[in-house]
């Protein structure tokens, strides 16, 4: 009887693994709207504007029923500011929620100006530099409601290497995450 029970348990676990898709992304919160505007603050260097827009567009083009759009007037802002001594963060996304919910009311994305000599907007990021578009694509991912991914190739992985632009484009895990929140 025990052999049969153990085999049945193993079989059920194997079956469960087949029907439950694996995912490395995590979801935290969501927008009630499917189209969300953002403003590029005047603190952002003018040479970074295209990188900001491209990073937001990577999520717009992810295949989900969601889009970011640039707007002159929006409560959602992208800024360039100092994070203060001791911070090693390249960027942050600070969400604001409606009271008692996980629904977003606004986001504030910041790029760390303390790394001003380490930023690149080049199509091939030089060694020792960090790609503005890759970092902001990650932060805009937090802005759609995604947490960090355990997949090292995902844009939403918790860290980024210098000298690379590979986090500009979303991996399937990133796309699966936004689709899980907003559908297609």
Contacts 24+ apart (CB under 8 A), 160-163: 160/90, 160/130, 160/131, 160/134, 160/135, 162/118, 162/125, 162/127, 162/128, 162/129, 162/130, 163/125, 163/126, 163/127, 163/128, 163/129
The pTM of the full predicted model, rounded to 2 decimals, is 0.86
Indicate if the pLDDT at residue 19 is higher than 80.
no
- Whether the per-residue pLDDT at 9 is higher than 50: the answer is no
The DSSP line for 81-143 is E---TT---SEEEEEEE-TTSSBEEEEEEEEEGGGGGGEE-SSSPPTT-EEHHHHHHHHHHHH
68, 57 contact by CB (below 8 A): yes
The pLDDT tens digits of the residues spanning 77-123 come to 999 999 988 889 999 999 999 999 989 999 999 999 999 999 999 99
**pLDDT for position 85:** 81
Instruction: Label residue 46 exposed, middle or buried (CB < 10 Å: 0-12, 13-18, 19+).
Output: exposed
When computed from its CA atoms, the radius of gyration of the chain, rounded to whole angstroms, is 19
For residue 130, the cross-strand partners are 119
As given in the structure block, the two tokens for residue 101 are 């919910």
CA–CA separation, 177 and 106 (whole Å): 20
Q: Which domains does the chain have, with CATH numbers?
A: 24-182 (3.40.390.10)
Does the pLDDT of residue 14 top 70, yes or no? no
Q: Could you tell me the pLDDT band of residue 12, with boundaries at 50, 70 and 90?
A: very low
Mean pLDDT of 149-171: 95
For a pLDDT cut of 90, what percent of the chain falls above it?
79
Q: What's the pLDDT tens digit per position in 35-61?
A: 999 999 999 999 999 999 999 999 999
Residue 11: per-residue pLDDT: 40
């Amino acid at each position: 009887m025990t052999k049969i029970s153990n085999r049945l348990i193993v079989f059920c676990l194997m079956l469960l693994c087949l029907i439950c898709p694996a995912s490395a992304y995590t979801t935290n919160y969501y927008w009630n709207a499917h189209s969300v505007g953002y403003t590029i603050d005047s603190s952002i260097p003018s040479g970074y504007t295209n990188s900001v827009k491209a990073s937001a567009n990577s999520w717009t083009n992810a295949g989900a029923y969601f889009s970011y759009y640039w707007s002159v007037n929006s409560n959602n802002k992208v800024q360039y500011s100092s994070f203060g001594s001791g911070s090693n963060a390249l960027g942050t996304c600070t969400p604001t929620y409606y009271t008692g919910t996980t629904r977003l009311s606004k986001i504030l994305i910041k790029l760390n100006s303390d790394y001003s000599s380490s930023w690149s907007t080049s199509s091939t990021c030089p060694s020792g530099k960090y790609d503005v578009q890759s970092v902001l694509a990650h932060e805009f991912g937090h802005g759609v409601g995604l947490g960090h991914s355990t997949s090292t190739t995902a844009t939403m992985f918790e860290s980024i290497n210098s000298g690379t632009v590979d986090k500009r484009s979303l991996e399937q895990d990133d796309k699966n995450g936004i689709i899980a929140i907003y559908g297609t």
